[in-house]
Amino acid sequence: METRIRSLAYVLGDNIDTDQIIPARYLVYNPADPEEYRMFGRYALSGVPTERAGLPDGRIPFVRDGEYTSDYQVVIAGKNFGCGSSREHAPIALNAAGVKAVVANSYARIFFRNAVNGGYLIPLETAERLCEEVRTGDVVEIDIDGCLLTNITTGKQYRLRPLGDVRPIIAAGGIFNYARQAGLVPNQPDSSSA
């Protein structure tokens, strides 16, 4: 698990739901197919209304036309990030686009769980309204162990909440690795069980 992340930040508001993270029309792709997995990166955050895409100014595409990954590896948002549907395609889309961490005031439960259990990205929480402090394009550095986000562009620092219970699952790379370490699932896929 990467414990220091330095990247350009992409800033969004409150209640960014899963339809904004990956619009339903793209759910026809199968994330189990590596080629199709890339397509989720291409359309990540394409459902955010143009005026609110990349705050505070808006009108900043998260992924440039024709690309599969984003220049932004950290997303900063307000409260209730990932609300709406249970589609795992949402954290998958952010992962496919290259996002390493999201920093939000709060998360919808299923998005948070999917992000952790699938090992797609690190969902961090902060009590501060970072989405009103940080501008899209600022360089930020996250220190996971120190629970700190530094805005390199402005020099300001912000506290993050500790990961708590979910840290060992994130560190293991997702629920399957975690469960294997705990002896809950077999170590190797058993191909003789048919």
Number of H helices, E strands in the chain: 6, 7
Closest to another protein by CB, 103 vs 140, is: 103
Near another protein by CB under 8 A: residue from 6, 17, 71, 147: 17
- Sequence-separated (6 or more) residues with CB below 8 Å from residue 113: none
Closest to another protein by CB, 43 vs 140, is: 43
Binding pattern to another protein, positions 151-180, x when CB under 8 A? --------------x--------xxx--x-
Would you count residue 79 as binding another protein (CB under 8 A)?
A: yes
The single-letter code of the amino acid at 126 is T
Binding pattern to another protein, positions 31-70, x when CB under 8 A? xxx--x----------xxxx--------------------
Q: Kindly give the interhelix angle for 89-96 and 109-117, rounded to the nearest 10 degrees.
A: 50
Near another protein by CB under 8 A: residue from 25, 64, 129, 159: 25
| Cβ atoms of residues 13 and 77 within 8 Å | yes
CA distances from 35 to 24, 29, 49, 87, 134 (A): 19, 9, 27, 19, 34
**Beta strand pairing call for 148-151 and 139-143:** antiparallel
Near another protein by CB under 8 A: residue from 10, 29, 43, 158: 29
Minimum distance from CB of 146 to another protein (Å)? 26
Distance CA 52, CA 54 (A): 6
If we measure between CA atoms, which residue out of 22, 17, 24 comes closest to residue 42? 22
The piece of 12-20, 58-66, 69-77, 130-138 that touches another protein (CB under 8 A) is: 12-20
Near another protein by CB under 8 A: residue from 110, 160, 163, 170: 110
Q: Could you list the residues that contact another protein (CB under 8 A)?
A: 15, 17, 19-20, 23-25, 27-33, 36, 47-50, 79-80, 83-89, 91, 106-110, 113-114, 117-118, 165, 174-176, 179, 184-186, 189-194
